[in-house]
Amino acid sequence: MSTSKTLDANRVSKREFVQRFARRGGISVFAAQTAYNAMIDELLDLVSQGNTVTLTNFGKFYPQNHKGHRVQFGKDDGAGEVTDYTVLKFSATREVNRRVKTND
């Protein structure tokens, strides 16, 4: 069973990710942060408009719509309803999935 500390030890913060990205790309942290922000903003804008974004040899990001439904317990501990909503989904390519290694 994993503990919270174990999970935190395996997480990479945004700051660390951008620093590693900058080092690998041989660019400044500022340039990496700018590229990261632009990529995330553009990805979210495109998907929120209903588009599927395919990154060749990586995977695709797409919106997945869910129907609203009744809930037994709401924020006010009474019955309520969840309206229709959309979530961001990601599907990796087979090659990417093969490259992912776990310590299981």
Instruction: Taking residues 50-57, report their average pLDDT.
Output: 97
**What spatial distance separates the first Cα and last Cα of the chain, rounded to whole Å?**
12
C-alpha to C-alpha distance for 34 and 43, rounded to whole angstroms? 14
C-alpha to C-alpha distance for 62 and 94, rounded to whole angstroms? 17
Structural domains in the chain plus CATH codes: 1-49 (no CATH), 51-103 (4.10.520.10)
Centre a 10 Å sphere on the Cβ of residue 93 and count the other Cβ atoms it contains.
Answer: 15
Instruction: Taking residues 49-63, report their average pLDDT.
Output: 97
Residues ≥6 apart with Cβ < 8 Å to 70 = 79, 80, 81, 82
Best CA proximity match to 48, nearest among 62, 35, 60, 36: 62
Residue 5 pLDDT class (50, 70, 90 cuts): low
- Going edge to edge, which strands form the sheet with 53-55? 53-55, 59-66, 85-92
Best CA proximity match to 47, nearest among 94, 8, 90: 90
pLDDT for 7-45, tens place per residue? 577 899 999 999 999 999 999 999 999 999 999 999 999
- The pLDDT of residue 21: 95
